[in-house]
């Protein structure tokens, strides 16, 4: 059985950490672990996945929708407490919530029925995914013969689509590095080796016996683990601060923080180290623990404001420093608009919410600058709204997700259903996309075509329903009765 380990690594001389391995999560195999009943459950999950792997590619909980009696406040509170209890049980000892940050799965997607591999779990076969994964299987010892139907189908798919010579540049970099095509000068072509694999390949090519390469080896466990569908991979080592901050917002929005004070205290201890604590500063210390030092908040605001673009918006990792024409030299051939760090609705909304919370607690610090940024950020969000009332999301799927962030940012800045045309249009958009069951769902294809997409196979998702419910809560939507059926 596999066991999840938290915060380990201090005893390994090859591992280093600047925060005592806070937030580190790895899976460790225990050959003697687990009861016969637990082993039977794992085997059942494996069989179920193998049987359904071409019809249910993604992992999600399906809503258990039933005809119910009238939705009362008591029913809603019971359902809400049940959800919070479940979330509390999933909290790590360090105070955050562990999870697989898979991102783009061109490293380890599943084989499609046509023999190719996709760029992500739900996508069609691509040259990127197929070439990289086919080469990986061969390097791992898989032999191309009449007994290996999967490998034969994979090779046939690649050859029928032009062979590896037409694969995008990222795939060629991986393949060239793996067969040591690059000499010492070759690695300079990797202008930004942002993931573990490329860094490790470069160190191995330079010297497979070096400490630089050996230090990469124990970090493999931060990225790879096993599930019922085989090997899994993370793009980065996790999104612990992001996840915990969003979950804490959900707890604080319920009015039940006193009932779940132990959970909130543990989360507070974790995110004090990440300095994401403004919302918690409004709750009594008896419920959430001692507040963070004031100077640390000032330092955090100074850091955040240094990343703000000139127009008051926020990008993902740095301020926008150049113009879109540099996209002509985009070397990936797989993803567009990645050379410039553009402003995003989700990031700008989060910035607005954080600055307004900070201003409420510390109204005198850099007040004029903060007010100007909030004003410009709101104008940016309103300008980015589409004609149908939605916003395009860049960090999740897709329009309902971005609309959630946009509405929260606008509401934080004082917009309401009554005084904001943008919010009224957003509400009409959400109502128009509600499923007959009362919930919401969305297809990932909407990200590609930049239009809301839904297929007959889409079922209402828990995430979508909670997003819409929270939106209605923060905007005091007059038509709240229309979404009550999705809340229980």
Backbone angles phi, psi at 175, to 5 degrees: -65, -40
Residue % of the chain over a pLDDT of 70 = 78
Q: What angle do CA 289, 294, 297 make, to 5 degrees?
A: 95
Question: Which two tokens mark 355?
Answer: 């600055």
Q: Is the pLDDT of residue 70 over 60?
A: yes
Taking CA atoms, 446 is separated from 28, 77, 82, 119, 405, in Å, by: 38, 34, 32, 16, 17
Of the candidates 448, 450, 432, 451, the residue with the CA atom closest to the CA atom of residue 440 = 432
* Average pLDDT for 26-44: 86
pLDDT of residue 191: 35
Of the candidates 329, 334, 309, the residue with the CA atom closest to the CA atom of residue 126 = 334
Please tell me which of 166-170, 234-238, 248-252 the model is most confident about, judged by mean pLDDT: 248-252
Which one is predicted more confidently, 57 or 295? 295
* Average pLDDT for 272-277: 58
Confidence band (pLDDT; 50, 70, 90) for 264?
very high
Kindly report which listed range (170-179, 285-294, 397-406) carries the lowest average pLDDT score.
285-294
pLDDT of residue 274: 61
Cβ neighbors of 438 (< 8 A, separation 6 or more) are 65, 460, 483, 484, 485, 486
Residue 196, classified by CB atoms within 10 Å of its CB into exposed (0-12), middle (13-18) or buried (19+), is buried
- The per-residue pLDDT for range 421-458, each reduced to its tens digit, is 999 999 888 888 887 777 778 888 888 888 888 765 55
Report the distance separating Cα 428 and Cα 99, nearest Å: 33
Whether 251 contacts 288, CB under 8 Å? no
Q: How many CA atoms lie within 13 A of 145 on its CB side?
A: 4
Backbone angles phi, psi at 391, to 5 degrees: -125, 145
Each residue of 117-147: b (16+ CB within 10 Å) or e? bbbbbebebbbbbbbbbbbbbeeeeeeeeee
Report the distance separating Cα 376 and Cα 22, nearest Å: 36
Q: How many CA atoms lie within 13 A of 305 on its CB side?
A: 18
Report the distance separating Cα 457 and Cα 220, nearest Å: 36
3-state SS class at 201 = helix
Mean pLDDT (the chain) is 80
3-state SS class at 239 = coil
Q: What is the pTM of this model?
A: 0.71
- The per-residue pLDDT for range 179-206, each reduced to its tens digit, is 655 554 444 333 333 567 778 888 898 9
Each residue of 276-295: b (16+ CB within 10 Å) or e? bbbbbbebeeebbbebbeee
- The per-residue pLDDT for range 98-124, each reduced to its tens digit, is 887 765 555 566 788 899 988 777 788
pLDDT of residue 192: 36
Cβ neighbors of 300 (< 8 A, separation 6 or more) are 275
How many DSSP H helices and E strands does the chain contain?
18, 4
Report the distance separating Cα 484 and Cα 438, nearest Å: 8
Whether 405 contacts 350, CB under 8 Å? yes
- The per-residue pLDDT for range 402-417, each reduced to its tens digit, is 998 999 999 999 998 8
Report the distance separating Cα 455 and Cα 433, nearest Å: 12
Residue with the two structure tokens 């330092």: 299
Taking CA atoms, 126 is separated from 112, 129, 194, in Å, by: 10, 5, 22
Confidence band (pLDDT; 50, 70, 90) for 142?
confident
Of the candidates 138, 139, 160, the residue with the CA atom closest to the CA atom of residue 150 = 138
Domains annotated on the chain, with CATH: 2-77 (no CATH), 127-233 (no CATH), 240-486 (1.50.10.20)
pLDDT of residue 188: 37
């Amino acid at each position: 059985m596999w066991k999840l380990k938290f915060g380990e690594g201090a005893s390994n001389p090859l591992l280093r950490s600047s925060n005592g391995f806070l937030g580190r999560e790895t899976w460790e195999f225990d050959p003697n672990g687990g009861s016969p009943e637990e082993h039977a459950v794992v085997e059942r999950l494996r069989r179920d996945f193998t049987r359904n792997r071409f019809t249910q590619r993604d992992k999600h909980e399906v809503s258990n929708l039933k005809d119910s009696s009238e939705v009362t406040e008591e029913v809603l509170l019971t359902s809400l407490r049940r959800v919070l209890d479940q979330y509390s049980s999933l909290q790590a000892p360090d105070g955050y919530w562990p999870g697989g940050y898979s991102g783009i799965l061109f490293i380890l997607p599943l084989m499609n029925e046509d023999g190719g591999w996709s760029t992500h779990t739900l996508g069609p076969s691509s040259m990127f995914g197929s070439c990289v994964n086919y080469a990986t299987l061969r390097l791992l010892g898989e032999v191309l013969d009449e007994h290996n139907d999967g490998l034969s189908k994979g090779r046939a798919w690649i050859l029928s689509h032009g062979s590896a010579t037409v694969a995008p540049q990222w795939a060629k970099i991986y393949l060239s590095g793996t067969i040591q095509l690059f000499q010492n000068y070759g690695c300079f072509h990797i202008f930004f080796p942002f993931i573990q694999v490329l860094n490790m390949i470069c160190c191995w090519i330079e010297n497979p016996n070096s400490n630089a390469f050996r230090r990469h080896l124990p970090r493999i466990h931060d990225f790879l683990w096993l599930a019922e569908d085989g090997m899994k991979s993370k793009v980065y080592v996790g999104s612990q601060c992001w996840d915990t901050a969003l979950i804490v917002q959900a707890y604080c929005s319920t009015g039940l923080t006193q009932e779940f004070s132990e959970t909130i205290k543990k989360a507070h201890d974790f995110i004090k180290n990440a300095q994401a604590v403004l919302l918690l500063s409004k709750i009594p210390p008896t419920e959430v623990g001692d507040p963070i030092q004031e100077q640390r908040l000032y330092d955090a605001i100074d850091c955040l404001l240094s990343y703000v673009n000139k127009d008051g918006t926020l990008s993902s990792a740095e301020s926008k420093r150049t113009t879109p024409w540099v996209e002509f030299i985009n070397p990936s051939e797989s993803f567009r608009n990645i050379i410039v760090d553009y402003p995003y609705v989700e990031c700008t909304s989060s910035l607005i919410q954080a600055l307004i919370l900070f201003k409420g607690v510390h109204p005198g610090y850099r007040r004029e600058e903060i007010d100007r940024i909030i004003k410009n950020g709101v104008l940016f969000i309103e300008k980015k709204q589409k004609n149908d009332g939605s916003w395009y999301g860049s960090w999740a799927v897709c329009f309902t997700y971005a609309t959630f962030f946009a509405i929260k940012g606008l509401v934080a800045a004082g917009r309401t259903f009554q005084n904001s045309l943008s919010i009224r249009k957003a509400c009409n958009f959400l109502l128009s996309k509600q499923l007959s069951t009362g919930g919401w769902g969305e297809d990932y294809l909407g990200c590609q075509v930049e239009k809301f997409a839904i297929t007959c196979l889409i079922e209402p998702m828990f995430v979508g329903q909670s997003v819409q419910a929270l939106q209605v809560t923060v905007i005091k939507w007059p038509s709240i009765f229309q979404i009550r059926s999705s809340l229980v």
